[in-house]
Amino acid sequence: MPRTPPNPSHPAPGDLPFVVHEWFGSPGDPWFYVLVRLRGGAPELADLRELVRSRWGPVPRMRLRARPTPTGRRRGRPRWFVADGPDSKQHVVAAPVPPGPDALRERVGELLGEPLRSTVATWRLYLLSGPEVDEFAVLLRVHHAVADGVSVIRLLERLMGDGAEAGVSRPGSAVRRVPPGPASLRGVPATAAGVLRPNARLPFNGRPGEGRHPAWVTVSAQTVRAARHAAPGTARPTVNDVYLAAVSGALRTVLADRVIPGRVAGLVPVNMRAADEASRIGNVVSFFRIPLPLTEPDPRARLARVHAETARAKSIGQAAVARTAVEVAARLPLHVTRLAGLITMSAGHANTSCTNFPGPRTPLVLLGRPAVELIVAPPLMGSQNVVFGFTSHGDTFTAGVTTDRAHRALADRLARALGAEFQKLAAAAAP
């Protein structure tokens, strides 16, 4: 096992809430995942381990372990140790898939339900192979304290691309601060007012239970492009707006037999990297809290309302305000940091998380085997027992839903409803 030298670095403000969440035993877990399905026969485990060692070994954040500070003023607070290199047996493992029509998804759900600890490993890569000779997959689970969604896609590009440099900055290096301007200052009261206005509690909001169940649906890039033109008037929604409108419509469809007594909102991560930080590995992220218009029956009107809400969040600098709040909380006692995290992930603040991982900039190829599909999901934390993930690879988008095992039927229904919503929006845009 690689030696762990004494070079501790305290987690950056964006990392700390996720370590604290784990250490205090808060509801759910701070691990998210990316599943990559590939064409061809599975490689040898030893070959994959060697590739990981050579491609990810130089990235400090892929060698992190969390430890408590043993003495001094910061006693008990988390700190990072950087190991000499990835522990291949701990980080890269084989996970055989049994035969069966839905065996891969079931196996992924089993693996996602296995507990992992940041003191042992902050990520794990599974090689998933079964009786099929022309298809396999790799599943990457990452502790959110180590990386955000942008980081993970960049790491996959490094592993399954040309190995170009990405994210070799020190793990504790500070995030570039953008001085607050008039927009972000205006966002303080608006953001605070939103926090003080709680959401309705949906049937699935509660402490995540045991196990995990992923479900997903593929959507063509042509459908997503067409859906962007579905909003009435001159509005030009983004791909993320289309995705959030589809989530809203899917929730409305699945919860059709229930009365929604108040506002519903989603937590939407926002990339805070500057233009010259595109390959930075870490948590350089904030979030919007976007109301989801479940009570709106018209798909085009739902898209228009989502677009208006995201445009407003951008105009008032909501993400900058949220980032500052996270940085302040990280400097306070750990129980205050924990409380801030619990409030952020509570149903009263956000019923679900809706993450849009940017697709790879070039097609992924692992040891000569091309990737055919990516599936992603944020963690199940706090009261969020249903979360949504969205990404692309080539000409295909994938919209995913992840729940605990007790809500597996709900995840399957939501995935089907998501696919239908994208089709409705594309059809609504047709002349």
The yes-or-no verdict on residue 3 having pLDDT over 50 is: no
Label the pairing between strands 396-403 and 386-393. Answer: antiparallel
| pLDDT, tens digit, 9 for 90 and up, residues 154-184 | 999 999 986 555 544 444 433 334 444 454 5
d(CA 264, CA 351): 6
Which residues, listed in sequence order, are joined to residue 269 by a DSSP beta bridge?
287
Whether residue 301 lies inside any domain: the answer is yes
Residue at which a domain ends, from 127, 160, 193: 160
- Mind giving me the DSSP string for 350-413? -SEEEEEPPPPSS--EETTEEEEEEEEE---BTT--EEEEEEEETTEEEEEEEE-GGGHHHHHH
Residue whose entry in the numeric block shows the structure tokens 């502790």: 143
Q: Looking at the structure, do residues 219 and 254 belong to the same domain, yes or no? A: yes
| pLDDT, tens digit, 9 for 90 and up, residues 315-354 | 999 999 999 999 999 889 998 999 999 999 999 999 999 9
Helix (H) or strand (E) segment spanning residue 127: strand 123-129
DSSP code at position 63: G
Whether residue 114 lies inside any domain: the answer is yes
- Mind giving me the DSSP string for 140-194? EEEETTT--HHHHHHHHHHHHSS------S-TTPPPPPPPP-HHHHHHHHHHHHH
% of the chain surpassing 90 pLDDT: 68
d(CA 290, CA 106): 32
Confidence of residue 6 (pLDDT cuts 50, 70, 90): very low
Question: What's the average model confidence in pLDDT over 76-89?
Answer: 81
Q: What angle do CA 57, 61, 67 make, to 5 degrees?
A: 115
Q: How many residues does the chain have?
A: 431
Q: Looking at the structure, do residues 123 and 207 belong to the same domain, yes or no? A: no
Please report the pLDDT score of residue 215 as a whole number: 97
Residue 281 corresponds to which tokens in the numbers above? 């590995």
Name the maximum alpha-carbon separation found in the chain: 68
Instruction: Say how many CA atoms lie within 13 Å of 375 toward its Cβ.
Output: 21
CATH number at residue 111: 3.30.559.10
Question: What's the average model confidence in pLDDT over 138-145?
Answer: 96
Whether residue 165 lies inside any domain: the answer is no
Confidence of residue 78 (pLDDT cuts 50, 70, 90): confident
Q: Looking at the structure, do residues 142 and 265 belong to the same domain, yes or no? A: no
Q: Looking at the structure, do residues 207 and 132 belong to the same domain, yes or no? A: no
Please report the pLDDT score of residue 197 as a whole number: 62
Question: What's the average model confidence in pLDDT over 298-317?
Answer: 95
Q: What integer best gives the mean pLDDT of the chain?
A: 87
Confidence of residue 259 (pLDDT cuts 50, 70, 90): low
Whether residue 10 lies inside any domain: the answer is no
Q: Looking at the structure, do residues 24 and 113 belong to the same domain, yes or no? A: yes
d(CA 118, CA 33): 15
d(CA 203, CA 352): 12
Confidence of residue 29 (pLDDT cuts 50, 70, 90): very high
d(CA 386, CA 91): 27
Starting at the earlier edge strand, list the strands of the sheet with 31-39. 92-96, 123-129, 135-143, 31-39, 369-377, 365-366
Whether residue 420 lies inside any domain: the answer is yes
Range of the domain at 60: 16-160
Which residues, listed in sequence order, are joined to residue 33 by a DSSP beta bridge?
141, 377
Residue whose entry in the numeric block shows the structure tokens 């339900």: 113
Residue 169 corresponds to which tokens in the numbers above? 């900055």
CATH number at residue 284: 3.30.559.30
Q: Looking at the structure, do residues 205 and 89 belong to the same domain, yes or no? A: no
Asked whether the beta carbons of 2 and 57 are under 8 A apart, the reply is no
Of 380, 375, 379, which Cα lies nearest the Cα of 396?
A: 375
The yes-or-no verdict on residue 413 having pLDDT over 80 is: yes
> Which of 131-140, 145-154, 229-238, 345-354 shows the lowest mean pLDDT across its residues?
229-238
Q: Looking at the structure, do residues 256 and 390 belong to the same domain, yes or no? A: yes
Please report the pLDDT score of residue 279 as a whole number: 85
Please report the pLDDT score of residue 82 as a whole number: 84
Question: What's the average model confidence in pLDDT over 97-103?
Answer: 91
Q: Looking at the structure, do residues 386 and 271 belong to the same domain, yes or no? A: yes
Question: What's the average model confidence in pLDDT over 241-268?
Answer: 90
Tell me how far the alpha carbon of residue 366 is from its chain's centroid: 22
Q: Looking at the structure, do residues 267 and 406 belong to the same domain, yes or no? A: yes
End-to-end CA distance of the chain: 62
The yes-or-no verdict on residue 118 having pLDDT over 90 is: no
Residue type, 245: A
The yes-or-no verdict on residue 270 having pLDDT over 80 is: yes
The yes-or-no verdict on residue 426 having pLDDT over 90 is: yes
Please report the pLDDT score of residue 140 as a whole number: 98
d(CA 145, CA 379): 12
Residue at which a domain ends, from 160, 195, 213: 160
Asked whether the beta carbons of 277 and 330 are under 8 A apart, the reply is no
Please report the pLDDT score of residue 74 as a whole number: 55
The yes-or-no verdict on residue 256 having pLDDT over 90 is: no
The yes-or-no verdict on residue 5 having pLDDT over 60 is: no
Phi/psi of residue 104, nearest 5 degrees: -60, -45
Q: Looking at the structure, do residues 403 and 310 belong to the same domain, yes or no? A: yes
Q: Looking at the structure, do residues 127 and 200 belong to the same domain, yes or no? A: no
d(CA 83, CA 146): 14
Domain count, the chain: 2
Asked whether the beta carbons of 213 and 404 are under 8 A apart, the reply is yes
d(CA 141, CA 369): 21
Phi/psi of residue 60, nearest 5 degrees: -55, -40
Cα-trace Rg, the chain: 21
Question: What's the average model confidence in pLDDT over 358-369?
Answer: 94
